[in-house]
Structure 1
Amino acid sequence: MTAPSAVLPLRRNKDFRLLWSAYTVTTVGSQVSVLALPLTAVLVLHAGALELGLLMSVQYLPFLLIGLPAGVWVDRYRRRDVMVFTDMARAVVLGLVPLLMWLRPHLAILLLLAFALGALTVLGDVAHQSVLPELLPVSQLTEGNSTLTASASASQFAGPSLGGLLVQVLSAPLALLADCVSFLVSAVLVRRLPAAEPEPAALDGRSTWSAGLEGLRHVWNHPLLRPIVLCTAIANFFDLFGMIQAVLVLFAVRELGLSPGTFGLVVGSASLAMVTGAVLTPRLVRRLGFGPSLLLAAVLPGAALLLLPSATPSDAVPLLVLSLAISGFAVAVYNISQVSLRQRVTPLAMQGRMNASIRFLVWGTIPAGTLVGGVLGETLGLRPTLLLAALGSVLSALPIALSPVRKLRSVDDVAAAVEPEEARDE
């Protein structure tokens, strides 16, 4: 596999700028969908907590069903081409939502489209995470991930705010067309990445499952990757991806009385904290050390989410903004740090399988979390469900607290913490 080109500042690296632009555009659009898709279920189909939990669950179910083979496919084919295909296909699926909700509004149809969207997201996200180490040298991975996360966080301010406005002006299904357009723009940008991308390895003719299991073994047997996987998987079951996601929209709109536009602004405003977290991550890691920073970032989201159940209609906006802002800041620090470590300790030829294996393990808990959140929201009520979920999120930090990860001073220290499995190009 060829090494990345001569080291350039990120702002002068044309290939990185193309990837960065595509990622930013799709993040804005996808944040519109994060708001508009559940609001389509609530406002158009009059879904309750159980139906909303089911919608979230089927959207993440593909991470369990095709998570492992997705990594093999990404390693076998040109990652750029996989990204273009998934961008175009997601644009088609999103364009079908308003059409089918107009022709035949039914929950089963929305569930089917959400499942298709999730399956394409599995492939697209694995390809995106795997292509960055091909564009940047190891020394720039943390900076590159920080830059992408900062842009994504800024986009997450614009996305929900735009989404809330579009839902109020156009309707929830039509608002999804913004995401449709974003994927078309991304496909055009990604297509301009160099065609001279290294040919993926043929994987020695092994079967898809055999090659996929190799990636799973690499992740699970690695003393630094396993605790990160356990922490993230537990957190995703409980927090804003899992149980809380299943009931938060319903809690905000029906119990706190927020309009879609106001809720979009709340989520968007809180996302600004993610920009701060992304920008400050390199400095925070240098000051506190990699391990302590990661551990702190693992504890903070759940602690902040404990504020949610106490919200009332009179203090809903400031309390939700504060809770989601602290959580967003910590999530940015956590994601930049753990993704940089993953890319650093994994050979280039296995990047796709490593990323897919981790997605399989950590996103695979989300369908269960959203389903449990929906059931508990329907039976126990929304506030008790939010409280249980926040407590579970706090406890998710234990695997890192009890592992060698907490002692790392920097990502480069991994060489001293564990023997590399195979040399990788620098």
Structure 2
Amino acid sequence: MSGPPAGFRWYWFSQTASFVGDRLTGFTAPSIAILVLHASSAEVGVLSATGWLAYPAFGMLAGGLLAHVRKRPVLVVGELTRLLAFVTVGVLAVLGHISVAGLIVAVAIAGVATVFGDVAGQTYLPTLVEPRSLFPANARVQSSDSLSKLVGPALAGVIIGVVGPFAALAANGLPFALSAFGQSRVRTLEPKPLPQRRDPVLVRIRDGLTQVRHIPMLRQIVQGSVIRAFGIGVVDTVLLLFAYRALGLSSVGGGLLLAAGSLGGLTGAFLAARLAARFGVRRMMLLSGLEGASWLALPLCLFVAPVAVLVAVRVFSSVWLPVWAVLTTGVRQSLAPPGHESTVHATARTLVSSATPAGSLIGGLAAGAATGWLGVTHGLVLVLTAGGLIAGCSVLFVRRASRSLVQPELVAA
């Protein structure tokens, strides 16, 4: 592929704008709740959980409903829905009508739209590029996601400082308008959905589960991704607890720690397709287990340079998550049977997205128990190391993957 097709370039532009909107609104909404509305811890928890719960609640339903419709209009409507949700609550806030409940409603509506857009997007992407270009295409999208995580919160803080928190909430929804525009510019002819019997939605949902269960490689990838998401949920929950309570870092130091991880993720997204083209998809999926194995080095912080050890482990581990994400997404897209793409992707994403909050909950409970037993520093080191090991175990599910998996083209991703 000499260069990405025009249709994919617009799709990529749209996804990038959408990611930026996610990061801006994801920072601004809880900031308003905490700093302006003085929300309680329980209210902040509900606000944070609302976005996570959209996938477990609606993921498989989205797959069933989208099985027999064109995907591009769904992407456009989803982005406009998110725009409307945040602009509306922002305007109401400027007019003096704002509450934590209003923020929760906006986040909930945007979360449902995100689920439908995510399922539609993962199903739509394979129609925009050649099969062997799926890995570079997914790498480009993943790099945009990683970059948005790096710059999004800082940019949101600047916008809040310039226009104020309420106007910022409305302004931060504007990237969704750019995303909808980008999707509307995709001229690639989307294949007409296969003429199939219009089964009830519950039957289509069951179809997604059946396809994932009966296609060995799909089943292995989904199982591995669920385990990895659970482990990452543990690590991400305990990471800042360790940074603040054990190492005494400030909020600035915690922010820099997360930014360092985002830089590692951006590097991994940039290299994923190149490494897979050179060394093979299966080999690189297995090597991505270093994301979890790297946390075995964390106990070194008990003896030398604790901050330096934590940063090094965080950066190195973050490189490998996008490698796993890019490769497993490409393989899943290539293996989903025609006519079953949306239900397969919805099933996979629902299971994986449900594992992350479960890991967060277990990580928090384990941290409390471990610190009471071993003390703050040793207890949190134990939980972080265990969470990393769980994430690393994901590669055990793909160790028997076929060496004949479709390989990406050796091109700049």
Where on the TM-score scale, by shorter chain, does this alignment land: which range?
Answer: 0.7 to 0.9
Provide the residue aligned with 2:391 in structure 1: 396
8 Å CA contact 2:91, 2:170 repeated in 1: no
Contact 2:300 2:306 in 1 (8 A): no
Q: Does 1:281 align with 2:272?
A: yes
Equivalent AA in structure 2 for residue 35 of structure 1: F
Choose the corresponding residue for 1:111, options 87, 96, 104. Answer: 104
Distance 1:38 1:214, change over 3 A: same
Counterpart for residue 118 of structure 2: 125
Of 261, 264, 267, the match for 1:270: 261
Q: Which residue of 2 aligns with 1:59?
A: 51
Unmatched runs of 5 consecutive residues or more in structure 1 = 1-7, 414-426
Contact conserved, 1:86 with 1:123, CA < 8 A, in 2?
Answer: yes
Instruction: Give 2:127's aligned residue.
Output: 134
Contact 1:35–1:264, Cα closer than 8 Å, also in 2: no
Change (3 A) 1:327 1:333: same
Q: Which residue of 2 aligns with 1:334?
A: 324
Change in Cα spacing, 1:236 to 1:123, as seen in structure 2 (3 Å) is: same
Specify whether residues 351 and 9 from structure 1 end up closer, same or farther in structure 2 by C-alpha distance, changes over 3 A only: farther
Which residue number in structure 2 is paired with residue 295 of structure 1? Answer: 286
Please give the alpha-carbon distance, in whole angstroms, between the structure 2 residues aligned to 1:77 and 1:88. 18
Deviations 1:42-91 (A, max 9, x none): 43345576654443322121211211120122222211000000000011
What residue identity is the alignment partner of 2:65?
W
TM-score under structure 2 length normalisation: 0.82
- Residue 13 of structure 2 corresponds to residue 18 of structure 1: no
Query: Aligned ranges for residues 348-367 of structure 1 at < 5 Å?
Result: 348-367=338-357
What letter matches 2:109 in structure 1?
A
| Offset of residue 135 of structure 1 | 1.0
| Corresponding residue of 1:31 | 23
Change (3 A) 1:298 1:36: farther
Cα distance between partner residues in 1 of 2:117 and 2:300: 35
Report the 3-state secondary structure (helix = DSSP H, G, I; strand = E; otherwise coil) of the residue aligned with 1:201: coil
Which residue pairs with 2:406 in the alignment? 412
Paired residue for 1:220? Answer: 213
Tell me the C-alpha RMSD between the 2 structures: 3.5
- Cα distance in structure 2, aligned partners of 1:283 and 1:409: 17
Identity over aligned residues, as a percent?
Answer: 29
Q: Give the residue type in structure 1 aligned to 2:54.
A: P
Do the aligned residues in 2 keep the contact of 1:308 with 1:386 (CA within 8 Å)? yes
Mark the CA change 1:157 to 1:134 in structure 2 (over 3 Å): closer, same or farther: same
Q: How big is the shift at 1:332? A: 1.2
Render the CA deviation track for 1:293-336: whole Å, top value 9, x for unaligned: 2133234147349759969xx976x6665444323311111111
Contact 2:288 2:321 in 1 (8 A): yes
Cα deviations by residue, 1:133-186 (Å, 9 ceiling, x for unpaired):
111121211121122222333333322331343345555555444541110001
Query: Structure 1 residue 374: deviation in Å?
Result: 5.7
Query: In the aligned structure 1, how far is the partner of 2:128 from the partner of 2:353?
Result: 26
Cα pair 1:50 1:377 within 8 Å, conserved: no
* Aligned mates of 1:263, 1:64 — CA distance in 2: 29
Shift of 1:28: 2.2
Residues 14-38 of structure 1 show CA distances to partners (whole Å, capped at 9, x for unaligned) of 1011001111122222222343344
Question: Structure 2: any 5+ residue segments left out of the alignment?
Answer: 408-413
Equivalent-residue separation in structure 1 for 2:398 and 2:258 (angstroms): 35
Per the TM alignment, residue 342 of structure 1 is displaced from its structure 2 partner at its CA by 0.4
Distance 1:406 1:279, change over 3 A: farther
TM-score for the superposition, normalised by structure 1: 0.80
Local SS of the residue matching 2:191:
coil
Counterpart amino acid of residue 276 in structure 1: T
Give the Cα separation in 1 of the matches to 2:249 and 2:69.
48
Partner of 2:411: none
Q: Distance in 1 between matches of 2:190 and 2:18?
A: 22
Tell me how far 1:99 sits from its aligned partner.
4.6
Distance of aligned partners of 1:246 and 1:290 in 2 relative to their CA distance in 1, 3 Å threshold: same
Residue correspondences, number: 397
Q: Is the 8 A contact 1:138 1:344 kept in 2?
A: yes
